[in-house]
């Protein structure tokens, strides 16, 4: 077990199937960014080992009118021509709606007037990720301006007080329904923005923000290896928070930001210990509660740690299919409690499997459901099936689902 965990934390990450720009892939050494007491300092003049990431001041600012650099499209599962055409049309409508919706705000966030639950940083991160998955980067591509505004909004939400325990936290410490979920998603979005435009005018700010955000994640990991909802190290822990933060660390690591290998090893061990005897994954250690959504999210986390096709993953996939098939046997009367969350992680879990038939079987069926509920303006209702985070949240999740087969977002590439 320990040998496997060590391999996943180091070699597994170096062999992760993210096929983005080569200079942004995993560094050869895991050097802690805790080498300095001041974790907000910029990266030293000699760049991180193996990162190949230049400083923003060392390069010519990116031409905002230039086309985005070519990226490797997803290779593996395939859709039929008719399904793929419908998918692309729906995605275009969703991305256009996200960009128009953001234009209504003054600060680069997305309106949430229709939401019962508020998670502005998490929603802004998901919307920015969706626009990037559609082929835009900050200032470049069809929705480059919206990505830039979303990125700047998240950069402006980071806590910078040198003496605060929350230094590096992205989000509100008061009224928010996401907290560390939001921090993880915001870190992921900033890392993906940096990976697609490392030499942009925002490059230096993104580097510094990612250092701070990763440092906050590292020092708030609990003794059991998981994380809790608040940006502090506590005894409590929860699986869905842990999953979000591990994916953020993987994306940051891919850009050349140093991540403590021990943090990944402990997090992977936490997820492994969360697996129930039937192959599904628990809400938290010791909890009897397991769901299809949590199992998909756990598999995505193990993928992020370098495990793609072993016995643990196979048992989890079997548990997912049993759960999905039991719903159909019951006449589809049972709806998932968190349909968008489930869709977000199941798509990633199936996408990364060596056997593409899992993704193809699930995706085409799920695609029909998604397309049938899209409004004429390209959005989805935030109240559909009980979700309370608003239309921007629902539309961003479904846009990410629709964009996944294109493989343009580095973290989603096979």
Summarised one tens digit per residue, pLDDT across range 268-301 is 999 999 999 999 999 888 889 899 999 999 998 8
Considering only the C-alpha atoms of the chain, give the largest distance between any 2 of them, rounded to a whole number of Å: 62
Question: Could you tell me where the beta strands, DSSP code E, fall in 9-56?
Answer: none
Tell me if 6 sits within 8 A of 306, measured CB to CB: no
Domains for the chain: give ranges and CATH numbers.
Answer: 2-412 (1.50.10.20)
| 149: its two tokens | 């505004």
CA 271 to chain CA centroid, Å, is 17
Burial 348-367 (b: 16+ CB within 10 A, else e): bbbbbbeebebbbebbeebb
On the question of pLDDT at 178 being above 90, the answer is no
Per residue in 108-122, pLDDT (tens digit) is: 999 887 877 888 999
- pLDDT value for 350: 94
Mean pLDDT of 148-173: 94
Per-residue pLDDT tens digits for 58-100 = 323 333 333 333 334 444 577 888 899 999 999 999 999 999 9
CA distances (Å), origin 86, targets 81, 92, 315, 402, 404: 9, 10, 33, 10, 14
Torsion angle (degrees, nearest 10) of CA 89, 20, 272, 282: -20
What's the predicted TM-score (pTM) here? Answer: 0.81
Whole-number pLDDT of residue 99: 98
What does the pLDDT average to over 393-405?
A: 96
* Whole-number pLDDT of residue 387: 65
51-90 b/e (C-beta count within 10 Å ≥ 16 → b): bebebbeeeeebeeeeebeebeebebbebeeebeebbeeb
The confidence band for 124, taking pLDDT boundaries of 50, 70 and 90, is very high
pLDDT of residue 6: 31
> By the 8 A CB rule, do 53 and 255 touch?
yes
Span 328-371, pLDDT tens digits = 776 554 577 788 999 999 999 999 898 899 999 999 899 999 99
State both tokens at 310.
């072993």
Question: What distance in Å separates the CA atoms of residue 280 and residue 298, rounded to the nearest whole number?
Answer: 9
pLDDT class of 163 with cuts at 50, 70, 90 = confident
Q: What is the pLDDT of residues 223-265, one digit of tens each?
A: 999 999 999 999 989 888 999 999 999 999 999 999 999 999 9
pLDDT higher than 70, residue 394: yes
At 7 the pLDDT is 31
- pLDDT number for residue 44: 26
Section 382-408 average pLDDT: 86
8-state DSSP, 170: B
Report d(CA 163, CA 244) in Å as an integer: 26
Find the mean pLDDT for residues 135-159: 96
The segment with the largest mean pLDDT, out of 41-55, 135-149, 370-384, is: 135-149
User: What is the average per-residue pLDDT within 171-182?
Assistant: 80
Distance of alpha carbon 193 from alpha carbon 104, whole angstroms: 22
Strands (E), 98-240: none
**pLDDT over 50 (residue 5):** no
Residue 13 is predicted with a pLDDT of 40
**Residue 3's pLDDT is what?**
31
C-alpha closest to that of 179 among 133, 150, 216: 216
pLDDT of 175 reads 60
pLDDT bucket at 103, cuts 50 / 70 / 90: very high
Between 391-403 and 120-133, two packed helices, what is the crossing angle to 10 degrees?
Answer: 30
pLDDT for 244: 93
Residue 307: per-residue pLDDT: 86
pLDDT tens digit string along 9-66? 333 443 333 333 232 222 222 222 222 333 333 222 223 333 333 333 332 333 333 3
Helices and strands of the chain, counted as H and E runs: 14, 0
Give the number of other CB atoms < 10 A from CB of residue 104.
10
Closest of 189, 187, 119 to residue 148, by C-alpha: 189
- Of residues 274 and 307, the one with the higher pLDDT is 274
Tokens 């697996």 belong to 275
290 by DSSP, 3-state: which? strand
Q: What is the pLDDT of residues 191-208, one digit of tens each?
A: 999 998 788 788 999 999
Res 308 pLDDT > 70: yes
Residue 196 CA: distances (Å) to CA of 83, 213, 379? 28, 18, 26
For 170, phi then psi, to 5°, come to -105, 110
Structure tokens at 230: 């608040």
Q: What is the pLDDT of residue 334?
A: 57
Position 155 scores a pLDDT of: 97
């Amino acid at each position: 077990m320990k040998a496997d965990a060590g391999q996943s934390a180091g070699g597994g990450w170096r062999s992760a199937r993210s096929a983005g720009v080569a200079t942004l892939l995993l560094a050869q050494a895991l050097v802690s960014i805790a080498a300095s007491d001041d974790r907000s300092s910029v990266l030293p003049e000699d760049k991180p080992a193996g990162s190949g990431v230049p400083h923003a001041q060392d390069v010519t600012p990116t031409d905002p009118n230039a086309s985005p650099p070519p990226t490797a499209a997803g290779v593996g599962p395939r859709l039929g021509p008719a399904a793929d055409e419908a998918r692309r049309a729906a995605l275009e409508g969703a991305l256009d709606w996200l960009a128009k919706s953001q234009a209504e705000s003054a600060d680069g966030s997305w309106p949430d007037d229709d939401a019962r639950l508020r998670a502005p940083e998490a929603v802004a991160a998901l919307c920015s990720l969706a626009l990037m998955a559609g082929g835009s980067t900050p200032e470049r591509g069809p929705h480059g301006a919206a990505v830039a505004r979303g990125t700047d909004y998240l950069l402006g939400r980071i806590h910078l007080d040198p003496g605060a325990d929350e230094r590096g936290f992205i989000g509100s410490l008061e009224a928010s329904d996401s907290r560390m979920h939001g921090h993880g998603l915001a870190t992921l979005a900033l890392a993906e923005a940096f990976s697609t435009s490392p030499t942009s005018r925002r490059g230096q700010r993104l580097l510094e923000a990612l250092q701070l955000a990763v440092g906050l994640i590292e020092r708030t990991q609990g003794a059991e290896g998981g994380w809790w909802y608040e940006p502090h190290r506590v005894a409590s822990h929860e699986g869905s928070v842990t999953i979000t933060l591990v994916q953020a660390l993987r994306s940051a690591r891919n850009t050349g930001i140093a991540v403590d290998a021990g943090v990944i090893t402990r997090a992977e061990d936490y997820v492994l210990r969360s697996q129930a005897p039937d192959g599904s994954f628990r809400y938290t250690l010791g909890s009897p509660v397991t769901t299809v959504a949590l199992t998909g999210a756990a598999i995505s986390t193990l993928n992020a740690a370098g495990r793609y096709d072993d016995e643990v993953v196979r048992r989890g996939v079997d548990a997912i299919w049993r759960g999905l098939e039991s719903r159909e046997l019951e006449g589809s009367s049972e709806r998932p409690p968190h349909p968008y969350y489930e869709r977000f992680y199941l798509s990633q879990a199936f996408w990364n499997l060596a056997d593409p038939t899992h993704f193809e079987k699930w995706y085409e069926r799920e695609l029909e459901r998604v397309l049938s509920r899209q409004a004429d303006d390209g959005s989805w209702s935030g109240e559909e099936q009980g979700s309370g985070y608003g239309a921007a949240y629902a539309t961003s999740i479904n846009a990410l689902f629709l964009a996944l087969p294109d493989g343009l977002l580095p973290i989603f590439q096979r």
